[in-house]
Amino acid sequence: MPQLHLRTVVVLAAGEGKRMKSALPKVLHPLLGRTLLGHVLTAAAPLVADRTVVVVGHGADQVRAHLAEVAPEATPVLQAEQLGTGHAVRIGLDAAPDAAGTVVVINGDVPLLRPETVAALVDAHEGAGAAATVLAAEVPDPAGLGRIVRDSAGRLEQIVEERDATPAQRALREINAGIYAFDAARLRAALGKLSADNDQGEEYLTDVFGLLVSAGEPVAVHVAADHVETLGCNDRVELAALRRLLRDRVNEGWMRTGVSILDPATTWIDVTVAVDRDAVIDQNTQLRGGTVVGAEAVVGPDVTLIDTVIGPGATVLRSHAVGAEVGPGASVGPYAYLRPAAKLAERAKVGTFVEVKNSEVGAGAKVPHLSYVGDATIGAKANIGAATIFVNYDGVNKHRTTVGEAAFIGCDTSLIAPVEVGPGAYVAAGSAVSQDVPPGALGVTRAPQRNIEGWVARRRPGTASAEAAERARQAAAEAAEDAPEA
């Protein structure tokens, strides 16, 4: 179908965000898996704009680098001096001289905005053939925001900033959300007439509305159904409040698709995560980045998963994982640490105080307690005893260890890589293995044990140990006396 309207999106992201008190530009602060700017670009994505311009200024290099990563199709345009939102849009449009049709302008700090709402604003605007349409909302607390001023017939008269408002205008609770649709030609004409004659000495984009009204152009107000979507972010307290609101929205979405979230107030799921039906997410759990949780998996309590894939029916308890894969029905934790490229096959077990990095743990294999597994391939059904260390680093290079199918590694063993323990082989507890163990063999490197009789009585006299040993010696002697003669 041919596109009926040419569309340009201009995102305003040049401001410093002074009240964030941060070295990071405000629009780059993260909020459940995307930056503020990333959220805004996502909300605008379904418009399928011919061009997306992002006006950058403060921290321009950082913002440009971020755009190259998350929205390479967007064009960053520099506003060297922040002379106001009107000035910013003018600079943005200078970089899009052929922009015709609809120009959608979005403040870069409105991250809860939904794509549906932007689409509805644009539809209303284009449907009415308006020169300009502003997204408005009734809010409980309009402090600091621009107010929508209507005439007695309810038509938009102007948008007035709080600092320039009369007391009567300040009492209005209908605010400008900072999201607009404009007819490109009429926007350009009005931008040329903006003045900086206001309390901040800036060119206000919002003054475009008053200018268009004076010129007899049709302008419109589109009221957002949910004012929460229009909340901006000016400091870290507001950012935390937005994060809670987004958390609730995300959790509610997953619960409605059939995911159990036992304590939504302590469950933080990035917008980029996917969770399958009948998964159970227990309290104090964070699912971040590209994490995917399979059907009927149980995750939590006290789990953080970053870019980690959890297979169907797996369980993860009180653990931390980054860049790992956990197979179907596998079990992790409590207190496990899975690092990048840790791959657990189906029904594998990685238990308590176990760290796994760049290793495959085969189907049904077990690493239950107190181990480090680095750069290893562990075969199916192998059993790795408590306190086994895969010694992968010689101070210069990393080396791999292979443990074959159904091999058995005794407790407190060091496997000094590169080394291979064959299928079905055993390694005796307490060994330091630096040579391959053939399939089915027992590898043992322990020194034979010797007992030095009476050592404690001679070398530790008067200690509790010596007393206990003496009591045991007497008891044994009495038992021997009482024993019936054979």
> Which residues are catalytically annotated?
369
- Reading phi first (left if > 0) and then psi (alpha if -120 to 50, else beta), residue 429 is in beta
79 binds ligand UD1 (CB under 6 A): yes
Q: Which does 391 bind (CB under 5 to 8 A by kind): ligand UD1, Mg ion, none?
A: none
User: How many residues contact ligand UD1, by CB under 6 A?
Assistant: 28
Half-sphere exposure (CA, 13 Å, Cβ side) for 293?
Answer: 34
Q: Which of 9, 13, 67, 187 binds ligand UD1 (CB under 6 A)?
A: 13
Spatial separation of the C-alpha atoms in residues 401 and 422, rounded to whole Å: 11
Q: Which listed range, 82-90, 339-347, 380-388, 409-417, lies at the site for ligand UD1 (CB under 6 A)?
A: 82-90
Which parts of 388-447 interact with ligand UD1 (CB under 6 A)? none
Q: Which does 87 bind (CB under 5 to 8 A by kind): ligand UD1, Mg ion, none?
A: ligand UD1
Neighbours of 246 (CB within 10 A): 22
CA angle 73, 76, 82 (to 5 degrees): 155
To the nearest whole angstrom, how small is the minimum distance from the Cβ of residue 303 to ligand UD1? 35
Coil, strand, or helix at residue 358?
Answer: coil
Measured from the CB atom, the residue of 161 and 270 that comes closer to ligand UD1 is: 161
- Specify the DSSP class assigned to residue 113: -
Sheet strands (E) in 190-262: 219-223, 260-261
Sheet strands (E) in 38-167: 51-56, 75-78, 102-107, 132-138, 147-150, 156-160
To the nearest whole angstrom, how small is the minimum distance from the Cβ of residue 234 to Mg ion? 5
63 binds ligand UD1 (CB under 6 A): no
Q: Which listed range, 175-183, 238-246, 415-423, 444-452, lies at the site for ligand UD1 (CB under 6 A)?
A: 175-183
Measured from the CB atom, the residue of 226 and 394 that comes closer to ligand UD1 is: 226
Residues that bind Mg ion (CB under 5 A): 232
With beta carbons less than 8 A apart as the criterion, state whether 65 and 28 touch.
no
133 binds ligand UD1 (CB under 6 A): no
Cβ-proximal residue to ligand UD1, closest one: 146
The DSSP line for 364-382 is T-EEEES-EEESEEE-TT-
Spatial separation of the C-alpha atoms in residues 132 and 22, rounded to whole Å: 34
Measured from the CB atom, the residue of 108 and 379 that comes closer to Mg ion is: 108
Applying CB under 6 A, the residues found at the interface with ligand UD1 are 12-15, 55, 57, 79, 82-85, 87-88, 107-109, 145-146, 159, 161, 175-178, 204-206, 232
